[in-house]
């Protein structure tokens, strides 16, 4: 018994060490070994511990481009409610555990719900795969940077890689003991089939490890036709608050590895009907983004706190960036498509 407790404490210590390591990294300065270590591991979770894979794809074609999202989520504890369904959370054996899988596809006309599943998930670090299922369909993510493949039997078959110069990776984190969150992001092109229809677009693969309470925030990412992208994040004080703290806002040209990073900007985000207005500024410049939502999906979680995630598929109606180096508008960037996430809830 003492030996088992020692081993359990040791594994939790390794989770804290990983979050500390990620929080010390400078964005894109992350090697493939760290990416693989994070993507293909099942961490030991202490109280308030959470772990999830988040796989998001933006299409390029059509007025309302195809978009899809898949997630594998687990947290500390034996069970939770996900969309009011009881989900068991337990370790089956090493690197195999019970989790929640969920997802949706917007096919340019209709949003298809892939369902919420209490799925047995297996992580194989040597083979570089994460395998699970969603509504009875086998789901596999495999590969290493910059080449991956995602398959959901009979529904999704996507090859993910560096095709049009979009290939980027980053590692980040925040560590304030005993709390902390660390994550890796991978941005690549993607092509294949979704619902037996051709798909071409960009992929955002993310893995997150956290030891923290639930909390309200806004997050968004938009990819433009010319290879630029913008991403913003802000923690808010409540469900309907418009002012944010611990904010970030970036504007990147992946093809030429250039960008603008706002330094803890003043950020305001508000919803006006189907439109979201994002405004931010710091000493370097000012940005205004207007996004129109064309599909949405809501997820609720309860257990060790409660959280609501409202996911919006969006296109850019307006983009205006003013800095000391000049002005960039939507005319310079081309069509923009992305996702905005509105999260809120209660930590206890």
Q: What is the pLDDT of residues 230-266, one digit of tens each?
A: 999 998 888 888 778 888 899 987 666 677 888 889 9
The SS3 assignment for 19 reads helix
**Can you give the length of the chain in residues?**
348
- The rounded percent of the chain whose pLDDT value lies above 90 is 73
pLDDT at 256: 66
Residue 98 has pLDDT above 90, yes or no: yes
CA 61 to chain centre: 22
Residue 275 has pLDDT above 80, yes or no: yes
Q: What is the 3-state composition of the chain as percent helix, strand, coil, each rounded to the nearest 5?
A: 10, 65, 25
Mean pLDDT to the nearest integer, 171-191: 92
Report pLDDT for 243. 79
Mean pLDDT is lowest, of 40-44, 172-176, 202-206, for: 172-176
Residue 216 has pLDDT above 70, yes or no: yes
The tokens describing 133, both together, are 């299922």
> In this structure, what DSSP letter does residue 265 have?
-
Cβ atoms of 340 and 315 closer than 8 Å: no
Q: Which of the two residues, 334 and 240, has the higher pLDDT score? A: 334
Interatomic CA distance for residues 292 and 298, integer angstroms: 17
pLDDT attached to residue 67: 96
E strands, 177-227, are 179-194, 197-211, 217-224
Q: Which residue has the higher pLDDT, 247 or 81?
A: 81
pLDDT at 35 over 90: yes
Q: Is the pLDDT of residue 274 over 60?
A: yes
Is pLDDT at 157 greater than 90 in this prediction?
yes
**Cα gap 290→249, rounded to integer Å:** 15
pLDDT tops 70 at residue 79: yes
- Report the Cα 114 to chain-centroid distance in Å: 18
The yes-or-no verdict on residue 26 having pLDDT over 70 is: no
What local confidence, expressed as pLDDT, does residue 6 receive? 62
Give the pLDDT score at 325.
83
Average pLDDT over residues 180-206: 95
Dihedrals φ, ψ of 23, to 5°? Answer: -70, -20
Give the CA angle between residues 100, 85, 94 to the nearest 5°: 30
Q: Is the pLDDT of residue 166 over 70?
A: no
Q: Side-chain half-sphere of 72: how many Cα atoms within 13 Å?
A: 27
Average model confidence (pLDDT) across the chain: 92
Q: Express each pLDDT in 99-138 by its tens digit.
A: 999 999 999 999 999 999 999 999 999 999 999 999 999 9
| Rounded average pLDDT over 178-185 | 92
Give me the half-sphere count of Cα atoms (radius 13 Å) on the Cβ side of residue 210.
18
**Cα 311–317–320 angle (5° rounding)?**
110
What is the distance between the alpha carbons of residues 125 and 143, in angstroms, rounded to a whole number? 10
* Structural domains in the chain, sorted by start: 1-212 (2.40.370), 214-348 (2.40.128)
The DSSP call for residue 117 is E
Question: Residue 6: in which H helix or E strand, if any?
Answer: helix 2-23
Burial class (CB in 10 A: 0-12, 13-18, 19+), 29: exposed
Residue 163 confidence (pLDDT) above 90: no
Q: Spell 83-106 as b/e; 16+ CB within 10 A means b.
A: eeeebebeeeeeeebbbbbbbbbb
**pTM for this prediction:** 0.93
Residue 253, pLDDT score: 78
Tell whether the model's pLDDT for residue 348 goes beyond 60. no
């Amino acid at each position: 018994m003492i030996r088992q407790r020692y081993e359990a404490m040791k594994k939790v210590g390794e989770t804290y060490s990983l979050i500390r390591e990620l929080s010390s990294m400078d964005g894109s300065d992350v090697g493939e070994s760290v990416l693989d270590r994070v993507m293909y591991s099942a961490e030991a979770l202490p109280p308030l511990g959470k772990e999830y894979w988040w796989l998001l794809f933006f299409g390029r074609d059509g007025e309302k481009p195809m978009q899809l999202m898949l997630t594998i989520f687990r947290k500390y504890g034996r069970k939770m409610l996900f969309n009011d369904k009881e989900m068991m959370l337990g370790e089956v054996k090493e690197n195999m555990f019970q989790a929640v899988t969920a997802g949706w596809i917007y096919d340019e006309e209709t949003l298809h719900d892939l369902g919420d599943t209490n799925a047995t998930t297996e992580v194989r670090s040597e083979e570089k795969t994460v395998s699970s299922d969603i509504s009875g369909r086998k789901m596999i993510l495999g590969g290493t940077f910059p080449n991956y493949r995602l398959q959901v039997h009979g529904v999704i078959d996507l090859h993910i890689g560096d095709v049009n110069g979009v290939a980027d990776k980053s590692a980040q984190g925040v560590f304030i003991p005993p709390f902390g969150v660390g994550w890796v992001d991978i941005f690549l092109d993607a092509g294949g089939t979704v619902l037996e229809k051709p798909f071409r677009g960009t992929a955002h693969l993310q893995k997150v490890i956290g030891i923290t309470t639930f909390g309200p925030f806004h997050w968004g990412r938009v990819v433009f036709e010319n290879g630029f992208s913008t991403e913003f994040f802000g923690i808010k004080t409540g469900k309907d608050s418009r002012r944010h703290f611990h904010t970030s806002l970036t504007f990147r040209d992946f093809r030429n590895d250039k960008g603008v990073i706002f330094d803890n900007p003043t950020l305001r985000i508000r919803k006006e009907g189907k439109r979201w207005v994002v405004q931010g500024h710091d000493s370097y410049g000012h940005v205004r983004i207007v996004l129109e939502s064309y599909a949405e999906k809501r997820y609720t979680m309860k257990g060790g706190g409660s959280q609501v995630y409202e996911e919006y598929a969006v296109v850019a109606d307006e983009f205006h960036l003013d800095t000391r180096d000049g002005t960039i508008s939507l005319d310079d960037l081309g069509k923009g498509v992305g996702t905005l996430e509105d999260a809120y809830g209660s930590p206890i």
